Copies of this chain bind each other. A is one copy, B any other.
Protein backbone atom coordinates (compact mmCIF):
# COMPACT_ATOMS: atom_id res chain seq x y z
CA UNK A 1 0.00 0.00 0.00
CA UNK A 2 1.49 3.26 -1.06
CA UNK A 3 -0.08 5.66 1.33
CA UNK A 4 2.53 8.41 0.83
CA UNK A 5 1.19 8.83 -2.65
CA UNK A 6 -2.17 9.56 -1.13
CA UNK A 7 -1.40 11.37 2.08
CA UNK A 8 0.86 14.15 2.96
CA UNK A 9 2.36 14.14 6.44
CA UNK A 10 -0.22 16.54 7.77
CA UNK A 11 -3.19 14.23 7.34
CA UNK A 12 -2.95 12.63 10.76
CA UNK A 13 -2.95 15.09 13.64
CA UNK A 14 0.40 13.89 14.89
CA UNK A 15 2.11 14.01 11.51
CA UNK A 16 2.34 10.25 11.03
CA UNK A 17 1.92 8.58 7.68
CA UNK A 18 -0.93 6.07 7.49
CA UNK A 19 1.34 3.08 7.90
CA UNK A 20 3.12 4.31 11.00
CA UNK A 21 2.34 3.47 14.59
CA UNK A 22 2.64 6.16 17.19
CA UNK A 23 5.87 6.29 19.23
CA UNK A 24 5.79 3.15 21.38
CA UNK A 25 7.71 2.97 24.66
CA UNK A 26 8.09 -0.08 26.86
CA UNK A 27 9.43 0.35 30.42
CA UNK A 28 9.99 -2.87 32.39
CA UNK A 29 10.12 -3.06 36.18
CA UNK A 30 7.85 -0.05 36.74
CA UNK A 31 6.71 -1.50 40.08
CA UNK A 32 7.78 -4.52 42.10
CA UNK A 33 5.24 -7.00 40.69
CA UNK A 34 6.76 -10.13 39.14
CA UNK A 35 6.24 -8.50 35.74
CA UNK A 36 5.48 -4.79 35.62
CA UNK A 37 5.46 -2.94 32.32
CA UNK A 38 4.52 0.66 31.63
CA UNK A 39 3.73 0.73 27.93
CA UNK A 40 2.66 3.71 25.85
CA UNK A 41 1.77 4.40 22.25
CA UNK A 42 1.54 8.16 21.87
CA UNK A 43 -0.86 9.35 24.53
CA UNK A 44 -2.25 5.92 25.37
CA UNK A 45 -0.53 4.62 28.52
CA UNK A 46 -1.14 1.35 30.35
CA UNK A 47 0.39 -0.41 33.30
CA UNK A 48 0.51 -4.17 32.68
CA UNK A 49 1.50 -6.29 35.66
CA UNK A 50 1.86 -10.04 35.73
CA UNK A 51 1.48 -11.82 39.07
CA UNK A 52 1.99 -15.50 39.76
CA UNK A 53 -0.37 -17.10 42.26
CA UNK A 54 0.52 -20.59 43.44
CA UNK A 55 -2.98 -21.87 42.97
CA UNK A 56 -5.22 -22.80 40.08
CA UNK A 57 -8.81 -21.57 39.63
CA UNK A 58 -11.52 -23.48 41.50
CA UNK A 59 -13.05 -24.76 38.23
CA UNK A 60 -9.74 -26.44 37.38
CA UNK A 61 -9.59 -28.09 40.77
CA UNK A 62 -13.18 -29.29 40.42
CA UNK A 63 -12.18 -30.91 37.15
CA UNK A 64 -9.34 -32.71 38.91
CA UNK A 65 -6.67 -30.86 36.94
CA UNK A 66 -3.40 -31.09 38.86
CA UNK A 67 -0.75 -30.68 36.19
CA UNK A 68 -1.73 -27.71 34.04
CA UNK A 69 -1.70 -24.06 35.05
CA UNK A 70 -3.84 -21.12 33.96
CA UNK A 71 -3.43 -17.64 32.58
CA UNK A 72 -6.07 -14.97 32.81
CA UNK A 73 -6.35 -11.23 32.30
CA UNK A 74 -8.23 -8.28 33.77
CA UNK A 75 -8.66 -4.89 32.14
CA UNK A 76 -9.84 -1.60 33.60
CA UNK A 77 -9.54 2.08 32.83
CA UNK A 78 -8.64 4.33 35.76
CA UNK A 79 -11.19 7.11 36.29
CA UNK A 80 -8.62 9.79 35.44
CA UNK A 81 -7.57 8.09 32.19
CA UNK A 82 -10.11 9.95 30.07
CA UNK A 83 -10.71 13.66 29.53
CA UNK A 84 -14.20 13.34 30.94
CA UNK A 85 -13.73 11.33 34.13
CA UNK A 86 -14.85 7.73 33.70
CA UNK A 87 -16.78 6.61 36.81
CA UNK A 88 -15.56 3.40 38.42
CA UNK A 89 -17.87 0.48 37.92
CA UNK A 90 -18.69 -2.28 40.35
CA UNK A 91 -17.89 -4.87 37.76
CA UNK A 92 -16.20 -4.69 34.39
CA UNK A 93 -18.75 -3.24 31.96
CA UNK A 94 -19.54 -4.95 28.66
CA UNK A 95 -16.61 -3.37 26.87
CA UNK A 96 -14.09 -4.21 29.61
CA UNK A 97 -15.40 -7.77 29.80
CA UNK A 98 -14.91 -8.17 26.07
CA UNK A 99 -11.41 -6.73 26.22
CA UNK A 100 -10.12 -8.73 29.14
CA UNK A 101 -11.38 -11.92 27.54
CA UNK A 102 -9.52 -10.94 24.37
CA UNK A 103 -6.29 -10.26 26.26
CA UNK A 104 -6.48 -13.60 28.07
CA UNK A 105 -7.27 -15.58 24.90
CA UNK A 106 -4.49 -13.86 22.98
CA UNK A 107 -1.78 -14.81 25.44
CA UNK A 108 -3.17 -18.31 25.94
CA UNK A 109 -2.73 -18.94 22.21
CA UNK A 110 1.05 -19.20 22.73
CA UNK A 111 0.87 -20.51 26.27
CA UNK A 112 1.92 -24.00 27.35
CA UNK A 113 -0.25 -24.64 30.41
CA UNK A 114 1.55 -27.81 31.35
CA UNK A 115 4.94 -26.19 31.21
CA UNK A 116 3.81 -23.58 33.75
CA UNK A 117 2.74 -26.13 36.33
CA UNK A 118 -0.33 -25.87 38.56
CA UNK A 119 -0.30 -22.11 39.20
CA UNK A 120 -2.05 -19.07 37.76
CA UNK A 121 -0.62 -16.01 36.06
CA UNK A 122 -2.81 -12.92 36.31
CA UNK A 123 -2.27 -10.21 33.73
CA UNK A 124 -3.64 -6.94 35.09
CA UNK A 125 -3.99 -4.24 32.50
CA UNK A 126 -4.86 -0.84 33.93
CA UNK A 127 -5.14 2.01 31.49
CA UNK A 128 -3.63 5.17 32.98
CA UNK A 129 -4.31 7.37 29.96
CA UNK A 130 -6.58 6.52 27.05
CA UNK A 131 -6.21 7.79 23.49
CA UNK A 132 -7.36 4.87 21.37
CA UNK A 133 -5.90 1.40 20.94
CA UNK A 134 -5.88 0.50 24.65
CA UNK A 135 -6.79 -3.15 24.13
CA UNK A 136 -4.07 -3.85 21.59
CA UNK A 137 -1.47 -1.93 23.60
CA UNK A 138 -2.39 -3.97 26.68
CA UNK A 139 -1.83 -7.22 24.78
CA UNK A 140 1.60 -6.06 23.65
CA UNK A 141 2.52 -4.88 27.15
CA UNK A 142 1.09 -7.93 28.86
CA UNK A 143 3.34 -10.18 26.80
CA UNK A 144 6.46 -8.44 28.10
CA UNK A 145 5.19 -8.52 31.72
CA UNK A 146 4.33 -12.17 31.28
CA UNK A 147 7.88 -13.03 30.20
CA UNK A 148 9.34 -11.23 33.23
CA UNK A 149 6.90 -13.02 35.55
CA UNK A 150 7.67 -16.43 34.09
CA UNK A 151 11.39 -15.76 34.25
CA UNK A 152 11.02 -14.89 37.93
CA UNK A 153 9.82 -18.43 38.64
CA UNK A 154 11.93 -20.18 36.04
CA UNK A 155 13.74 -22.23 38.67
CA UNK A 156 10.49 -23.76 39.85
CA UNK A 157 8.96 -24.67 36.47
CA UNK A 158 8.14 -28.39 36.14
CA UNK A 159 10.63 -28.84 33.28
CA UNK A 160 13.35 -26.17 33.00
CA UNK A 161 13.89 -27.11 29.36
CA UNK A 162 10.26 -26.42 28.45
CA UNK A 163 9.43 -22.71 28.42
CA UNK A 164 5.71 -21.99 29.03
CA UNK A 165 5.45 -19.73 25.96
CA UNK A 166 5.82 -20.86 22.37
CA UNK A 167 6.11 -17.49 20.69
CA UNK A 168 5.77 -13.77 21.34
CA UNK A 169 2.41 -11.99 20.89
CA UNK A 170 1.64 -8.44 19.92
CA UNK A 171 -1.43 -6.60 18.72
CA UNK A 172 -2.30 -3.49 16.81
CA UNK A 173 -5.40 -1.76 15.57
CA UNK A 174 -6.07 -0.88 11.97
CA UNK A 175 -9.06 0.86 10.49
CA UNK A 176 -10.62 2.62 7.54
CA UNK A 177 -11.14 6.32 8.14
CA UNK A 178 -12.91 8.28 5.47
CA UNK A 179 -12.03 5.57 3.01
CA UNK A 180 -8.35 5.39 3.95
CA UNK A 181 -6.68 2.46 5.64
CA UNK A 182 -4.65 3.44 8.73
CA UNK A 183 -2.42 1.84 11.33
CA UNK A 184 -2.65 2.30 15.13
CA UNK A 185 -5.65 4.62 15.36
CA UNK A 186 -5.71 7.28 18.03
CA UNK A 187 -9.04 8.17 19.62
CA UNK A 188 -10.23 10.76 17.12
CA UNK A 189 -9.33 8.47 14.23
CA UNK A 190 -11.01 5.50 15.89
CA UNK A 191 -14.12 7.57 16.53
CA UNK A 192 -14.30 8.55 12.86
CA UNK A 193 -13.52 5.07 11.50
CA UNK A 194 -15.97 3.18 9.26
CA UNK A 195 -14.17 -0.09 9.94
CA UNK A 196 -12.15 -0.95 13.00
CA UNK A 197 -10.02 -4.06 13.27
CA UNK A 198 -7.84 -5.42 16.02
CA UNK A 199 -5.26 -7.93 14.88
CA UNK A 200 -3.28 -10.08 17.29
CA UNK A 201 -0.26 -11.88 15.84
CA UNK A 202 2.69 -13.95 16.92
CA UNK A 203 6.30 -12.89 16.51
CA UNK A 204 6.56 -15.42 13.71
CA UNK A 205 3.75 -13.73 11.79
CA UNK A 206 0.77 -16.02 12.40
CA UNK A 207 -2.68 -14.77 13.32
CA UNK A 208 -3.89 -15.23 16.88
CA UNK A 209 -7.12 -13.29 16.65
CA UNK A 210 -8.81 -11.03 14.13
CA UNK A 211 -11.70 -8.87 15.23
CA UNK A 212 -12.94 -6.65 12.47
CA UNK A 213 -16.16 -4.77 12.66
CA UNK A 214 -17.97 -2.29 10.52
CA UNK A 215 -18.98 0.56 12.77
CA UNK A 216 -22.53 1.08 11.53
CA UNK A 217 -20.96 0.14 8.22
CA UNK A 218 -19.70 -2.86 6.24
CA UNK A 219 -16.55 -3.75 4.28
CA UNK A 220 -15.50 -5.90 1.36
CA UNK A 221 -12.74 -8.42 0.72
CA UNK A 222 -10.33 -5.95 -0.81
CA UNK A 223 -10.56 -3.64 2.17
CA UNK A 224 -10.01 -6.64 4.43
CA UNK A 225 -6.82 -7.40 2.51
CA UNK A 226 -5.46 -3.86 2.95
CA UNK A 227 -6.25 -3.88 6.66
CA UNK A 228 -4.51 -7.18 7.27
CA UNK A 229 -1.42 -6.06 5.31
CA UNK A 230 -1.11 -2.97 7.47
CA UNK A 231 -1.67 -4.95 10.67
CA UNK A 232 1.15 -7.32 9.75
CA UNK A 233 3.48 -4.38 9.29
CA UNK A 234 2.48 -2.86 12.63
CA UNK A 235 2.80 -6.09 14.53
CA UNK A 236 6.23 -6.79 13.07
CA UNK A 237 7.34 -3.37 14.34
CA UNK A 238 5.94 -3.97 17.84
CA UNK A 239 7.42 -7.47 18.03
CA UNK A 240 10.82 -5.91 17.36
CA UNK A 241 10.31 -3.39 20.16
CA UNK A 242 9.22 -6.13 22.57
CA UNK A 243 12.38 -8.04 21.80
CA UNK A 244 14.57 -4.98 22.32
CA UNK A 245 12.84 -4.21 25.61
CA UNK A 246 13.33 -7.72 26.91
CA UNK A 247 16.99 -7.86 25.83
CA UNK A 248 18.64 -10.77 27.61
CA UNK A 249 15.30 -11.80 29.11
CA UNK A 250 14.03 -12.77 25.65
CA UNK A 251 13.09 -16.42 26.10
CA UNK A 252 13.20 -17.73 22.56
CA UNK A 253 16.10 -18.91 20.40
CA UNK A 254 17.22 -16.61 17.59
Contact = CB atoms under 8 A, between A and B. Distances in A.
Interface string A90-105: 1100110110110001
A209 B45 CA distance: 28
B36 A80 contact: yes
A202 interface: yes
B207 A212 contact: yes
Given A45-B31, A51-B85, A74-B79, A105 B213 contact: yes
Interface in A175-231: 197, 202, 205-221, 224, 228
Contacts of A129: 31-32
Given A53-B85, A94-B101, A80 B33 contact: yes
B224 A78 contact: no
User: What's the dominant secondary structure at chain A's contact region?
Assistant: mixed
A217 B109 contact: yes
Nearest to A127: B31
A31 B80 contact: yes
B79 A51 contact: yes
Interface in A109-158: 109-111, 122, 124, 126, 128-129
A128 B78 CA distance: 12
A225 B222 CA distance: 12
A211 B214 contact: no
14 contacts: A33-B85, A53-B84, A53-B85, A74-B79, A85-B124, A97-B98, A109-B215, A111-B216, A197-B210, A206-B218, A209-B211, A209-B214, A210-B210, A221-B228
